[in-house]
Structures are given as structure tokens and as C-alpha cells.
């Protein structure tokens, strides 16, 4: 356990709320899902077979916030199931936000995490939108660092992937009538994930434009990573996959004409020397990868435009790509709209997409200089 004096204040509160750390308490675990959530030692992991699903790790971070709105210092505890009241606000009313970020091992065996300050800030904004007490930014960042450090053995070897981190802020207190929860839990758990592209070609994705369903609307919650935004896209995504597409592109809810984004990543198109992406107007998720790509593209001399991008214009682009922590930079092979299919770069990766992918992954993995100071080195001196 963490040996800092402040961390010792929290355990009782953390455990009372979540049950985390009481490994012997199997009978109270939801669905007795032990087999799934029981972590393997890192030494038993086949790094070439990890994929993108959950590979549980040994530890997670837990902090709690009571009625007074004060956050506990939190602590690293063994990974395990939570124990919640059936009346927990998150279960009944979806009061929760999450984040997604990645840590990488460098060739010098250092651990780097990409722009955690941005995730901390976005989590704060999201928590305010969902009427939850924000996790102090320094607590958020410390929690992420401690989680990486406690699970250092689970960060894949160079070139074989990354440690995906999932910070999660949820209303865990019981409440029957609609209202904010009386108490909250902030967790960070993680899972090693493969890199999408192990050497070789990036795999192009085939998108279909959705004209009936919308992901978000003006004034809604589309710009937060609130948990309720994700299940509604599944119906549409599953149908697209059944038809052979990789994912769905959403249009704006007002005019059904301008691109918003894909189910869980942002969208860019390239025409000549101009790189365009839909402007952030409240219904699009402000991606940290998106923001980074905009800065990198401008520095390379591209004209970067954040504005309304119509689907007609996109069908005529030179290249298109999607961005997000999970997919990094994914080339779009084709877009299908009203029965018409636009093919980009003959299904191969376009030069701009490839350059953006190479530069971003190079920085994240410590292979090229990080001139903007985006990476944060994970200290190795946490005492766990």
C-alpha cells in the first residue's frame, strides 16, 4: 500500500463505499464474476496476444468524496469488484464520467503518460456538467501516476502496446428520487492493450454516414465523456458492422448535413494543404488527440481549420482520418453516404495521415523529441 501518511487516512472510507481491497468478499460481488476480473501476474501475459479487451492488472486507485464535498487522498488497492447499493445514482441515473489515456514504455525503460493534465481538466468539466464534485486536478494526476506505477509490470514491452488507463468518477451514494448522489467514488483502473498496428500498414476503416440517429444535440451532453453517451451508439454501430462497415459517422442534429464525429473518435479531412475538422460547438467530444493533431499539423505548415465540415465536402476530400486515444490516428478507407461510396487513397494510408500517425506515436513512445512537453514521466519512487 502507499506509505505516504495522507494516503493512510482514506482506506476505511474507500472500502466502505466500494468494497475494493477486500479480496475475500466474493459472496457480495455482483454476479460472482471472479473468473473474469481476477488478474493474472504480469509475467504470465503473452504480450503478442493481448488485443484490446480487458486484461485485468494487479492494482487500481480509489478515492471517495462524502456529503461535504471533500475528496479523500485515496489509495492504491488490489484490483477487484465494487460493492454498491442498488440505489447508487450511477446505476439508476447514469451519474458518471470517464476518461481514457495511455502510458508507454520507452526503449530506455522509462514510463511515459501522454498529456494527463488535459484529461484532468476534461474530467473536471465533465463532472460539473453532471453535477458531481470535481476531482482536484492534482489528485487526478497523482492517481494516474500511482496507478501506472503500481501496475508498472503490466505496461507492455516497447512496440507491443500500451497501458490503457481508465479514470472513472461515479455517483456511488444511494438516492431514490432524481438528484445528485450523496457520495462519489473516483477510480483509476487499467489494462494493457495491443497497438493497433504492429509494424506494417495501418488498417483503413470503412465508415457509413448515419442519417436517422444522432449521437448528440445542441445543448446536450455530447462534449462530455459521460457514461450515458455510449450505449445509445451501440445499436447504430452494431447495425453498421452487420453491413460490413467498421463504424458510423454522425451528422449534426440540426441540419443533418455537417460531420460531428465517429462513435468514439474525432474526424479530420485533408484537401490540398488544408486539414479540416468539425469545430467544437458543444456536441462533439473535445479529443486530446484531436487537439494534439491540430497543433502538429499547424507546425508542419498545414492550414488547420476548425469549422462546419459538410458531408458533401468530405466525400470529395483527398484523405480522411479519425483520432482518439484508443485508435490513435486511423486512416479512413471509404465513406458511404446515400448509397454512394467515396474511396480514399485506394484503401491505403494517405501521406498526411501516415505523417500524423508517425509523429504522434513517435512522441508518445519517446522515439522523437517531445518539444511541447506533452509527456509526463512516471516517477519510479512511489512506495507501494
Ligand X SMILES: *Cc1c(COP(=O)(O)O)cnc(C)c1O
127 part of the interface to ligand X, by CB under 6 A: no
How far CA 119 is from CA of 76, 200, 263, 321, in Å, comes to: 20, 30, 19, 22
Q: Which of 15, 59, 146, 225 binds ligand X (CB under 6 A)?
A: 225
- Rounded to whole angstroms, the Cα distance separating 59 from 147 reads 7
Task: Name 152's Cβ contacts closer than 8 Å, sequence gap at least 6.
Answer: 111, 378, 380
Helix or strand run (H / E) with residue 190: strand 184-193
Question: For 230, phi and psi rounded to 5 degrees?
Answer: -100, -35
In DSSP terms, which residues pair with 165 in a beta bridge?
101, 190
Q: Which of 261, 315, 321, 350 binds ligand X (CB under 6 A)?
A: 261
Site for ligand X in 165-194 (CB under 6 A): none
289 part of the interface to ligand X, by CB under 6 A: yes
In terms of CB distance, is 146 or 225 closer to ligand X? 225
In terms of CB distance, is 39 or 324 closer to ligand X? 324
- Cβ proximity of 60 and 20 under 8 Å: yes
How far CA 2 is from CA of 11, 60, 95, 262, in Å, comes to: 10, 12, 29, 40
Cell numbers at residue 280, please? 467544437
Residues touching ligand X, count (CB under 6 A) = 14
Whether 225 sits among the annotated catalytic residues: the reply is yes
139 part of the interface to ligand X, by CB under 6 A: no
Q: Which of 123, 170, 209, 288 binds ligand X (CB under 6 A)?
A: 288
Least separation in angstroms between CB 25 and ligand X:
33
Least separation in angstroms between CB 46 and ligand X:
27
In terms of CB distance, is 19 or 134 closer to ligand X? 134
Tally Cβ neighbours within 10 Å of residue 261: 24
The active-site residue out of 225, 241, 291, 303 is: 225
In eight-state DSSP terms, residue 346 is G
Q: Which of 290, 302, 331, 344 binds ligand X (CB under 6 A)?
A: 290
Q: Which of 172, 266, 354, 364 binds ligand X (CB under 6 A)?
A: 266
Least separation in angstroms between CB 381 and ligand X:
29
How far CA 174 is from CA of 25, 27, 182, 298, in Å, comes to: 21, 21, 7, 48
Q: Which of 100, 180, 282, 347 binds ligand X (CB under 6 A)?
A: 100
- Rounded to whole angstroms, the Cα distance separating 295 from 96 reads 30
Report, in this order, helix, strand and coil percent for the chain, each rounded to 5.
30, 25, 45
Q: Which stretch binds ligand X (CB under 6 A): 58-66, 142-150, 319-327, 374-382?
A: 319-327
Least separation in angstroms between CB 326 and ligand X:
7
Q: Which of 56, 126, 324, 366 binds ligand X (CB under 6 A)?
A: 324
In terms of CB distance, is 74 or 324 closer to ligand X? 324
Q: Which of 21, 287, 350, 366 binds ligand X (CB under 6 A)?
A: 287
Instruction: Summarize as ranges the residues that interact with ligand X (CB under 6 A).
Output: 100, 225, 261, 264-266, 285, 287-290, 323-325
Residues annotated catalytic, as ranges:
225
Amino acid at each position: 500500500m502507499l506509505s505516504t501518511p495522507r494516503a493512510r487516512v482514506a482506506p476505511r472510507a474507500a472500502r466502505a463505499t466500494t468494497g475494493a481491497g477486500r479480496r475475500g468478499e466474493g459472496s457480495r460481488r455482483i454476479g460472482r464474476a471472479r473468473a473474469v476480473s481476477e488478474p493474472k501476474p504480469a509475467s504470465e501475459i503473452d504480450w503478442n496476444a493481448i488485443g484490446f479487451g480487458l486484461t485485468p492488472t494487479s492494482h487500481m486507485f480509489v478515492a471517495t468524496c462524502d456529503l461535504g464535498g471533500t475528496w479523500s487522498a485515496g489509495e492504491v488497492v488490489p484490483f477487484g469488484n465494487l460493492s454498491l447499493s442498488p440505489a447508487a445514482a450511477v446505476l439508476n441515473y447514469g451519474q458518471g464520467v470517464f476518461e481514457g489515456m495511455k502510458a508507454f514504455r520507452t526503449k530506455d525503460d522509462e514510463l511515459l503518460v501522454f498529456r494527463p493534465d488535459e484529461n484532468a481538466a476534461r474530467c473536471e468539466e465533465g463532472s460539473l456538467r453532471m453535477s458531481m464534485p470535481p476531482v482536484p486536478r492534482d489528485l487526478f494526476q497523482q492517481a494516474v501516476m500511482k496507478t501506472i506505477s503500481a501496475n508498472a509490470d503490466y505496461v507492455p514491452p516497447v512496440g507491443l502496446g500500451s497501458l490503457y488507463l481508465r479514470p472513472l468518477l461515479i455517483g456511488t451514494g444511494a438516492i431514490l428520487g432524481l438528484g445528485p448522489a450523496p457520495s462519489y467514488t473516483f477510480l483509476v483502473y487499467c489494462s494493457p492493450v495491443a497497438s493497433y498496428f504492429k509494424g506494417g500498414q495501418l488498417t483503413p476503416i470503412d465508415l457509413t454516414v448515419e442519417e436517422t440517429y444522432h449521437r448528440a444535440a445542441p445543448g446536450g451532453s455530447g462534449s462530455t465523456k459521460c457514461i450515458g453517451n455510449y450505449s445509445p451508439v451501440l445499436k447504430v454501430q452494431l447495425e453498421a458492422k452487420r453491413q460490413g462497415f467498421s463504424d458510423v459517422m454522425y451528422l449534426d442534429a440540426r441540419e443533418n448535413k455537417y460531420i460531428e464525429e465517429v462513435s468514439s473518435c474525432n474526424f479530420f479531412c485533408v484537401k490540398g494543404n488544408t486539414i479540416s475538422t468539425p469545430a467544437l460547438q458543444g456536441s462533439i467530444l473535445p479529443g486530446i488527440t484531436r487537439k494534439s493533431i491540430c497543433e502538429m499539423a499547424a507546425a508542419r505548415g498545414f492550414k488547420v481549420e476548425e469549422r462546419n465540415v459538410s458531408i458533401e465536402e468530405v466525400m470529395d476530400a483527398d484523405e480522411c482520418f479519425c483520432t482518439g486515444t484508443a485508435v490513435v490516428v486511423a486512416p479512413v478507407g471509404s465513406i458511404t453516404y446515400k448509397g454512394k461510396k467515396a474511396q480514399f487513397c485506394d484503401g491505403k494510408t494517405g501521406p498526411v495521415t501516415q505523417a500524423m500517425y508517425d509523429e504522434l506515436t513517435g512522441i508518445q513512445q519517446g522515439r522523437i523529441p517531445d518539444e511541447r512537453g506533452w509527456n509526463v514521466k512516471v516517477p519510479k519512487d512511489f512506495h507501494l
